[in-house]
Structure 1
């Protein structure tokens, strides 16, 4: 029997945001801006296409899917979801 409570809806609406930066560091005095409006799957793919050294400047926002998906995904969380998506 499959435990459906831990499934992730990769077709859920999601948004990829980028933080303004200076010297490859987040500008905490500025708000992040949206660069992709699509699905969680699309946002993960776009995020993973970014250079590894700049990924800390991005985050994905989506509707929370407990316990695996919070409403704001950190770069580390996106990488783990990308691995899960590939596994599935």
Structure 2
């Protein structure tokens, strides 16, 4: 993975949107659609996500243009946390 990170440039200025899933008892509602809660750069959306309580982060995802190999078009909570670590490292 080290080589992938070294060779990959992530555009944290890319347009992105933070989405939240409706929930019941802190669980995603599969019968509902997620909705947009904020929009901005990938960097801003990662920051907004990381500001959410850790116990509710699984209800969020970030949507952006894919930047292979590190960024997919829909970023799961685990993926966002990894990108946040990468951002701090860079």
- TM-score band by shorter chain is over 0.9
> Is 1:19 aligned to 2:59, yes or no?
no
TM-score (norm 1): 0.94
SS of the equivalent of 2:70 reads: coil
> After the TM superposition, which of the residue ranges 5-14 and 56-65 deviates more from structure 2?
5-14
Deviation (angstroms), 1:79:
0.2
SS of the equivalent of 2:32 reads: coil
Q: Which segments of structure 1 move beyond 2 Å, counting only runs of 4 or more?
A: none
TM-score (norm 2): 0.92
Note the residue ranges of structure 1 that are not aligned, 5 or more in a row. none
Deviation (angstroms), 1:4:
8.0
Q: CA RMSD in A?
A: 1.3
Distance of 1:75 and 1:83 partners within structure 2: 13
Distance of 2:25 and 2:15 partners within structure 1: 31
User: Of 50, 53, 56, which aligns to 1:54?
Assistant: 56
